[in-house]
């Protein structure tokens, strides 16, 4: 019963800092091929992606995840080396332990345990990328485009993000907010602070518009999403000298928005405020991801029942947190749910996952697949 633990350790030991896969996907493909999965590497630029599928017909359930991890930070601050999986006090430590190598290992083991069972036919696939923690340009988004070109549309998708809060299974994500960022440059006229009538201070001009933007109620949210938020992340102006009115003021901001708003509507409202303030400005927009939402349905029900069966808990549906690759998959799949281990240590020094959560995680994935009617695997080994 240590197969999930062992595979998680094998994956942690590979220093797959984004976009380097470091052999993780090949390790997984070798195990899946023995179960009859057709495994295909899709390389885009420096990013390695794996599409592995078993079954010829019937509903398609995809497990999606990423083998890349964020940088370790100062290795000297780790109690044990970040790529040397180590157990202390019932926790398995290592970069990627919770985000998300434990989930990937648990899903592979769940598929192995389904081998030879006689559940109704269906198709199971894995979609793995080494570009989730990076710019997310050559990863899942391109694989989804390739699947669309082939006429492949999943019915369900479980993204193995670490979604649990205090205990395994207490929370799953049935959606995520979108992310829309802007870099605003307000142009003034540089001059001496003693002669303001000969200059135009862009900071002074920006201030009223900034106050207006910070007070806007962008929307009311909805049943699953809180209201959209707008936050300033950086502001810069000045030459460093105390007697110079700056020529420009630069402001970085970000929307985290729900399905109650659209990127187009948010952009329009911002421009209206800036135009009404009479500013001379440039504004560059970056849409990091659109929101997605999966209403209650067969996938969330199957996960909830499986979690309750294994842990005794009932899960909470949530849309909190940052963006994930679920935003790309939701464009081709009607039901996308994220579920994985507790996320309290992700991206931190001494990232870890509870050893006692590994086996239940695999059981939950397996029972969810069974509830969805998928066990198409015939072991070849």
Binding residue positions for Zn(2+): 66, 99, 133, 161, 347
- Strands 123-129 and 191-192 come out as unpaired
* Three-state DSSP class for residue 309: helix
**Catalytic annotation present for 68:** yes
User: Which residue from 179, 199, 196 is spatially nearest to 188, judged by alpha carbons?
Assistant: 199
- Between CA 308 and CA 298 the distance in angstroms is 15
- Between CA 19 and CA 8 the distance in angstroms is 19
Active-site residue, selected from the candidate residues 68, 138, 155, 357: 68
Active-site residue, selected from the candidate residues 20, 21, 112, 132: 132
Q: What is the CA radius of gyration of the chain?
A: 24
CA angle in degrees (0–180, nearest 5) for 7-13-17: 115
The answer, yes or no, to whether the previous bond of 19 is cis (omega within 30 of 0) is yes
Within 10 angstroms of residue 10's Cβ, the number of other Cβ atoms is 16
Both tokens of 118, joined, read 């006689």
- Between CA 270 and CA 125 the distance in angstroms is 42
Both tokens of 349, joined, read 């020094």
- Between CA 255 and CA 180 the distance in angstroms is 5
**Catalytic annotation present for 132:** yes
Question: What's the sign of the alpha-carbon dihedral 309, 311, 312, 316?
Answer: negative
The phi, psi pair for 186, rounded to 5°, reads: -100, 130
Q: What is the DSSP string of 206-268?
A: HHHHHHHHHH-------SS-PPPEEEEEEEEE--S-TTEE-SEEEEEEEEEE-TTS-HHHHHH
Q: Which residues are catalytic?
A: 68, 132
């Amino acid at each position: 019963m240590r197969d999930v633990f062992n595979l998680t350790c094998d994956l942690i030991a590979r220093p797959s800092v984004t976009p380097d896969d470091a052999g993780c996907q090949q390790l997984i493909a070798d195990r899946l091929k023995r179960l009859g999965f057709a495994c295909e590497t899709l390389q885009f630029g420096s990013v390695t992606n794996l599409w592995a599928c078993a079954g010829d017909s019937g509903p398609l359930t995809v497990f999606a995840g990423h083998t890349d991890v964020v940088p370790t930070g100062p290795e000297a601050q780790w109690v044990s080396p970040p790529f040397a999986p180590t157990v202390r006090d019932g926790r398995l430590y290592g970069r990627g332990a919770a985000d998300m190598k434990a989930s990937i290992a648990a899903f592979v083991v769940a598929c192995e345990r389904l081998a030879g069972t006689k559940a109704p036919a269906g198709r199971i696939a894995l979609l793995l990328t080494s570009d989730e923690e990076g710019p997310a340009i050559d990863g899942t988004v391109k694989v989804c485009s390739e699947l669309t070109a082939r006429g492949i549309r999943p019915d369900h998708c479980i993204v193995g993000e670490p979604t649990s809060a205090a205990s395994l299974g207490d929370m799953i994500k049935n959606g995520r907010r979108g992310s829309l960022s802007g870099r605003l440059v307000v142009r003034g006229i540089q001059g001496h602070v003693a002669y303001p009538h000969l200059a135009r201070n862009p900071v002074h001009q920006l201030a009223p518009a900034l106050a207006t933007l910070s007070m806007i109620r962008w929307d009311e949210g909805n049943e699953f999403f809180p209201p959209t938020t707008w936050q300033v992340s950086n502001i810069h102006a000045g030459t460093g000298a105390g007697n110079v009115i700056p020529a420009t003021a630069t402001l970085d901001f970000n929307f985290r928005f729900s399905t109650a708003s659209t990127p187009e509507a948010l952009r329009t409202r911002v421009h209206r405020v800036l135009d009404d303030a009479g500013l001379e400005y440039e504004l560059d927009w970056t849409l990091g991801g659109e929101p997605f939402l999966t209403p209650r349905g067969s996938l969330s029900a199957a996960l909830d029942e499986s979690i309750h069966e294994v842990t005794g808990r009932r899960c909470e549906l949530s849309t909190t947190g940052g963006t994930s690759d679920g935003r790309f998959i939701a464009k081709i799949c009607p039901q996308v749910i994220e579920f994985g281990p507790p996320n309290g240590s992700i991206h931190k020094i001494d990232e870890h996952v509870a050893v006692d959560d590994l086996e239940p995680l695999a059981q939950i994935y397996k029972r969810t697949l069974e509830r969805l009617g998928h066990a198409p695997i015939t072991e070849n080994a």
